[in-house]
Amino acid sequence: MTTLYFATNRKPNRANKPTDFGAGFSSTDLGDLRFGRANVNAGKLDDASIQVLPDNPRQGSQALFTELRQAMKADRADSLVFIHGFNVSFRDAMESAGLLSDSYARVSGSQYRPNVFVFSWPSDGKLTNYANDRHDAEASGYAFARGLMKLSKFLQETPAAENCQRRINLIAHSMGNYVLRHALQQARKIAGAAPLNRIFDEIVLAAADEDNDAFELDHKLARLPELAQRITVYFNNGDLALTVSDSTKGNPDRLGHDGPRKPLELPAKVVAVDASGVVTGVSEHSYFQDHDRVARDIVSVLQGERSEKIKSREYIPHANKFRLV
């Protein structure tokens, strides 16, 4: 059994005691967030275990962050925030996060099992609703930005004696990167001209359904390095889902398919990793958790290993990227 934590801006199926969340936004407002926890057993969400915390900061987000901090300190475990992609229901998101936890524990020989915190935005969970999901991902940026501000405030107010001395990391998969982009923009509006507070040790962008010029432009991801010590971008030329996003949805070349457009001009904190040579399968889109070779590399990143020291990589100077071999 794996206990997962979550925040969601989805509409609950029942107002008094939710046992699931639907495809629509919370009816309260666009930035409404509900926090809770749930168990996943053998890859399946246990409906009876879903606990949604009261809708106020003291008993909601602050209580959950305090619980997480205590677990990190007691178990000497990191925490990992996960933003899912397109065509994912709340149930899918939780079960995928459970599989992610199991995968990373397995490939690390049980040495890496972080507390997993899921942000589930109201994707429709339907393969045919790409355009609607993209709109909802953009609109969800405000709610995730509010969550980031809550976490940042909690960390700033934590006394030094209570610091757990563990890492807080983030993985955004597929269209979850589009959520992250718009959360970054909302956070910038809140912060004004001031630099954003660093919240994460590592940010991993996996199979990003995001434009390949994202790190060149302020209205995309140019200021993302302010939020982390390092950002690692994984891309795969064989990613069928992103090929479809590129060619049939009218999107520019995708960051998760071709890598950054100008690799030699990347910020110093951003590292590009080409997984094309090792990933196999039909769609080749969920390799961040399904493919052991990539999963091991990501675990090394999340544990803070230096980019050039991670095994089974080679550096390609003219492309300023690492290639998995």
What would the 3-class secondary structure string for 202-270 be?
A: EEEEECCCCECCHHHCCCCCCCHHHHEEEEEEEECCCCHHHHHHHHHCCCCCEHHHHCCCCHHHCCCCE
Q: What is the pLDDT of residue 88?
A: 95
Give tens-digit pLDDT for 52-80: 999 888 999 999 999 999 999 999 999 99
Q: What is the pLDDT of residue 168?
A: 98
Q: What is the mean pLDDT of the chain?
A: 93
Q: What is the pLDDT of residue 247?
A: 63
What mean pLDDT is predicted for residues 94-117?
Answer: 97
Q: Which two tokens stand for residue 194?
A: 């001031």
Give tens-digit pLDDT for 163-217: 888 999 999 999 999 999 999 999 999 888 788 899 999 999 999 999 999 999 9
DSSP helix/strand/coil, 102: helix
Instruction: Indicate the residue type of 213.
Output: D
Q: What is the pLDDT of residue 160?
A: 87
* CA 84 – CA 86 distance, rounded (Å): 7
Q: What is the pTM of this model?
A: 0.95
- Which top CATH class is 2-324? alpha beta
Percent of the chain clearing pLDDT 70 (strictly above): 98
The alpha carbon dihedral of 264, 265, 269, 271 has a sign of negative
Domain boundaries, the chain: 2-324
Which secondary-structure segment (H or E) carries 4? Answer: strand 2-8
- Residue 225 is classified by DSSP as G
Cβ-count burial 141-166 (b if 16+ within 10 Å, e if not): bbbbbbbbbbbbebeeeeeeeeebeb
Q: Label residue 62 exposed, middle or buried (CB < 10 Å: 0-12, 13-18, 19+).
A: middle
Q: What is the pLDDT of residue 249?
A: 65
36 contacts 21 by C-beta, under 8 angstroms = no
Q: What is the pLDDT of residue 16?
A: 65
| Count of Cβ atoms closer than 10 Å to residue 325 Cβ | 11
Give tens-digit pLDDT for 228-268: 999 999 999 999 889 887 666 678 899 999 999 999 999 99
157 pLDDT higher than 70: yes
CA atoms within a 13 Å half-sphere pointing along the CA-CB vector of 45 = 20
- Residue 284 is classified by DSSP as -
* CA 102 – CA 44 distance, rounded (Å): 12
Q: What is the pLDDT of residue 192?
A: 81
20 contacts 50 by C-beta, under 8 angstroms = yes
Which range has highest mean pLDDT (123-137, 150-164, 295-309)? 295-309
Q: What is the pLDDT of residue 246?
A: 67
Percent helix / strand / coil, the chain, rounded to 5: 40, 25, 40
321 pLDDT higher than 80: yes
Q: Which two tokens stand for residue 256?
A: 């998760």
When pLDDT is cut at 50, 70 and 90, the band that residue 30 belongs to is confident
Q: Which residues contact 19 (CB under 8 A, 6 or more apart)?
A: 13, 47, 48, 50
What mean pLDDT is predicted for residues 305-309?
Answer: 98
If you compute the radius of gyration of the chain from its CA atoms, what whole number of angstroms results? Answer: 18
Q: What is the pLDDT of residue 91?
A: 95
- Residue 9 is classified by DSSP as -
In the chain, count of helices (H) and strands (E)?
9, 14
Q: What is the pLDDT of residue 230?
A: 98
Q: Label residue 323 exposed, middle or buried (CB < 10 Å: 0-12, 13-18, 19+).
A: middle
Q: What is the pLDDT of residue 23?
A: 87
Mean pLDDT is lowest, of 158-172, 290-304, 305-319, for 158-172
255 contacts 237 by C-beta, under 8 angstroms = no
Mean pLDDT is lowest, of 11-25, 146-160, 277-291, for 11-25
